[in-house]
Amino acid sequence: MHATDRDLAQAYQYCQSLAREHYENFPTASRLLKKELRPAVAAIYAFARHADDLADEGDHDAATRLKQLDAWETLLERCTREALEQPIFLALGDAIRRHGLPVEALHDLLVAFRMDVSLHAYASETELMFYCAHSAAPIGRLMLALHNIDAPEALQASDAICSALQLINFWQDLSIDLPRGRCYLPEHWLAHHDLSVAQLLAWARDDELGDKAHNLAIMPVLRQALQLARARLEQGQVLLPWLPLRLRLQIAATLLAGHRMLDNIERLERPLATRVTLGRGDWLRLALPIVGRTLMPSQPARAQTA
C-alpha cells in the first residue's frame, strides 16, 4: 500500500479518537506534550489498548486470545517495513520511522499481554517484576524515545517509575482483581505470613474480603508490597533533570501522586475491600510540591527546558 498524507492523517485521527474514547485523561495528558508528539503517543496508546482488549477475558478462550495476539504482533513486524491499511499500524509504522521508536518496547508489551492471558498469580517477586518490566517499563522508554532521551541512567530511572506505577495499580485494585481470580501479591510473600494465593481467592469467592481479621492478616504483606513500590519511586527521582519542562511537570506530578496513593492505601482499615483514588483535596495539597519539584530538579545542570 502507498500511504498518502491524507491516509496518514486519517489513521492518526482514528488513533486519537480511540485514545479519547477509552482513556478519560488522554486530552489532559496530551496537553503536556509537544503538539508534534501527540499523534505518535495516540498511535502507541491505540496499539496497546487494542492488544489489551485482545488479552482481556471475553467470549474467546485463552488459546484464541493468544492467537489473536500473535496476529497483532505479525502486523507490528510488518508495519516497520511497509504501510498497512489497518489504521493503527499505518499510524504506528509512521511514528516508528519518524521518531526512531524502539520496536522492542512494543514487542515487550505483547509479552505482558500474553502473561495476562495465561498467568493470574505470581510465585515470587522476581516473576512480578518481570511482568512490570514488560507491562509498564516499555511505555516509559517509548516516551523517552519521543523526546530523544536514551541515556542509560534515564532509561533505568524511567523503568523504576513505570514499575512503581504498575505496582501501585495492583495494590490499589486488590478489591477488584481478587474477585476476578487474579492475585499480584507473590506467593512467597504470602507464605512467609502463613497465607496463600488460594486463601485470598477463596475469601473473594466467599465475599469475605471485608472481614476485619482477613484484612489484619494481610497487612504485613501489604506493607512489604507498598515498600517495594516506594523504593521504585525513589529510584526514579533521578529522571527529572533529564526531561524537558512539560514532561518534567507530568513526571513530578506522577511521582508525588504515587507516594500519596501509597500513603492512602497504607491507612486503609480494609485494603482488601476498598479501592483508593486521589481526590481533589489530595491534588490541591500536591500542587505546590509538584511545581517545586519541577522547577528545582536534583541535578539542575542536566535539566532541559524545551
pLDDT 10s digits, 98-145:
999 999 999 999 999 999 999 999 999 999 999 999 999 999 999 999
Can you give the pLDDT at residue 21? 82
| Residue 74, domain extent | 1-100
Please report whether residue 304 resides in a domain: yes
Please report whether residue 17 resides in a domain: yes
Can you give the pLDDT at residue 22? 74
Q: Compute φ and ψ for 24, nearest 5 degrees.
A: -65, -25
Can you give the pLDDT at residue 152? 96
* Amino acid present at 255: L
Q: 305 or 271: whose pLDDT is higher?
A: 271
CA–CA gap between residue 230 and residue 238 (Å, rounded): 14
Please report whether residue 45 resides in a domain: yes
CB 105 within 8 Å of CB 155: no
On the question of pLDDT at 301 being above 50, the answer is: no
Q: Are residues 126 and 83 in the same domain?
A: no
On the question of pLDDT at 296 being above 90, the answer is: no
Q: Are residues 189 and 80 in the same domain?
A: no
Can you give the pLDDT at residue 131? 98
Q: Are residues 204 and 274 in the same domain?
A: yes
Q: Are residues 128 and 42 in the same domain?
A: no
CA–CA gap between residue 39 and residue 23 (Å, rounded): 15
CA–CA gap between residue 137 and residue 166 (Å, rounded): 9
State which H helix or E strand residue 189 sits in. Answer: helix 187-192
State which H helix or E strand residue 244 sits in. Answer: none
Digit-coded pLDDT (tens) for 40-54: 999 999 999 999 999
Q: Are residues 166 and 300 in the same domain?
A: yes
Q: How many CB atoms lie within 10 A of CB 206?
A: 9
Can you give the pLDDT at residue 2? 74
Q: What is the number of domains present in the chain?
A: 2
CB 297 within 8 Å of CB 248: yes
CB 37 within 8 Å of CB 146: yes
Q: Are residues 82 and 139 in the same domain?
A: no
Digit-coded pLDDT (tens) for 65-97: 999 999 999 999 999 999 999 999 999 999 999
**DSSP tag of 178:** G
Determine the 3-state secondary structure of 183 from DSSP: strand
pTM above 0.85, yes or no: yes
Q: Are residues 226 and 285 in the same domain?
A: yes
Can you give the pLDDT at residue 28? 47
Domain with 257 in it: what CATH number? 1.10.600.10
Q: Are residues 20 and 164 in the same domain?
A: no
